[in-house]
Amino acid sequence: MTHRERLMAAVSHREPDRVPIDLGGTRDSTLVVEGYQKLKRHFRVEGEDRLCDRMMRVVEIDERILKALDVDTRAVYPDFPVGLGEELGSRRYRDFWGVERIQPEGSYYYDLSKSPLAGEITTSDIVNYPWPDPEDPVLTEGLKERVRWVRNNTDCAAILAIPAPFIHISQYLRGFEDWYCDFVLQPKRLEALFDAILEITIPMARTVLKEAGQDADVVICGDDLGTQKSLQVSRDHYLRYIKPRHARFFRQVRELTSAKILFHTCGAVSSIIDDLIEIGIDILNPVQPTAEGMDPVKLRRRYRGRIAFWGGTDNQTVFPRGTVQEVKKMVEDLVEGMGEGGGFVLSACHNIQPDVPLENVLALFEHARQYVPSYVR
C-alpha cells in the first residue's frame, strides 16, 4: 500500500498492510521545539524550526525526518495560530483572538496571562468585542499549494487543520474560572459567547475548506472536553450547551468536504463517544490511556466499525520514563489490540515533550513500522 492508501484504509475500517503511523500530521501529534532539536541532530537535519502552534511551541516536522521514519501523514496548516497576532515584548504576545500570553522563565510553553472578556461583562460586551476577520487572507495563504505539494511529492495522506469550534477559544477569552462559573450562574451569557465565536469559526472553517477541503484526506480540529477523571462539565451541560453547537459546526464541515473528520479532545471522554459518532466524527484523537475509562483496546472492542482511533500511547509514564523495551511493548500491545480490521492510527497521544528520551521516540516509530502482529503472521 501507499502511505495514503494505508491510512485511509485504517480510518475506513479496512485492514491495511500494517498499522499507519502519524508524526506531525496534527498540532497535537508533533514535538515541542527542544525535543525536535534532538531529533534533528540525530538525523543530521539543519534548518529553522518552524512553529505550527506558538502557544504549545510545537513544530512542523522536516520532510527528511518524516521520510526517514516512514510516516504516513503530512500536515496542511493554515497560518493563523502563528502568523496573526501582536508582539507585546520579550516572551509575550497577543494572539489572533486578543488573548494575551506569556512564556515564564524556564517554561517550554506560553501561559494564559490576560483574558479580554473576563470579569463582569454583559452580552453587549460580547457582541461589541473586536472579533477577528474570518476572511483574512492569511487563513488560506499557501494552503492549496501545500496540498498540491503533498500530492505531487509524496504518496502520503494530507491532514488539513481547521479552527477549533468554540470551547478552547471561549475558555481563553473568558478565563477559566469565569467560564466554569457561567455554566451555573450565567448560562445565557456563556451561550452568547459560544455563538459569537461560532459566528467567526464557522466562516473561518468554510474559507479553509473551500480552498483546500476537497483535496484533503482528513480534516482535523480540536476542543478539549475532558479532564483526567471526567468531562470538564456535567453530561447534562454537555448535551444542552455543547453538543448542539458542535453538531452545527460539523454539519458545515461535512457539507464542504468528503474528507474524514478527526476530532481532538483530551481526557476522559468515553461517556460522549456515542454523541461524537452521532454528530459526524469519524476518528477520535488522542485516546489518552491514563484518563478514566479511556483504555484504547476496550474502546476499540466497544466501538469497532463505528469510529476510528488515532493516538493511544501512554505519554505520561511509559513514553517519558520507560525503557526502550517498555516502549516497544506498548507499541506491540496497541498494534495487537487495535490494528486488526483497521480502525487505528498509531501516534503519540499528544505532543512529544522535551523530557522524552530520543531512543524512546525512535523506538516508537521504528518498532511500529517493523512489528508484525500475530493476526497477520
**Torsion angle defined by CA atoms of residues 366, 368, 370 and 376, in that order, rounded to the nearest 10 degrees:** 180
**pLDDT tens track, the chain, 377 positions:** 999 999 999 999 999 999 999 999 999 999 999 999 999 999 999 999 999 999 999 999 999 999 999 999 999 988 666 656 789 988 999 999 999 999 999 999 999 999 999 999 999 999 999 999 998 888 898 899 999 999 999 999 999 999 999 999 999 999 999 999 999 999 999 999 999 999 999 999 999 999 999 999 999 999 999 999 999 999 999 999 999 999 999 999 999 999 999 999 999 999 999 999 999 999 999 999 999 999 999 999 999 999 999 999 999 999 999 999 999 999 999 999 999 999 999 999 999 999 999 999 999 999 999 999 999 98
Cis peptide bond upstream of 78, omega within 30: no
Domain ranges across the chain: 3-376
Spatial CA neighbour of 282 closest among 235, 217, 237, 238:
217
260 contacts 217 by C-beta, under 8 angstroms: yes
The string of pLDDT tens digits covering residues 211-254 is 999 999 999 999 999 999 999 999 999 999 999 999 999 999 99
* Angstrom distance (rounded) from CA 75 to CA 216: 10
Assign 75 to helix, strand or coil: strand
- The pTM for the full model equals 0.97
Instruction: Output the CA torsion sign for 166, 167, 169, 171.
Output: positive
Spatial CA neighbour of 110 closest among 124, 95, 123:
95
Residues facing residue 118 across a β-bridge: none
159 contacts 76 by C-beta, under 8 angstroms: yes
108 contacts 356 by C-beta, under 8 angstroms: no
From 3.20.20.210, 3.60.20.40, 3.10.50.40, 3.20.20.120, which CATH number describes the 3-376 domain? 3.20.20.210
Instruction: Cell numbers for 260, please give them.
Output: 474524514
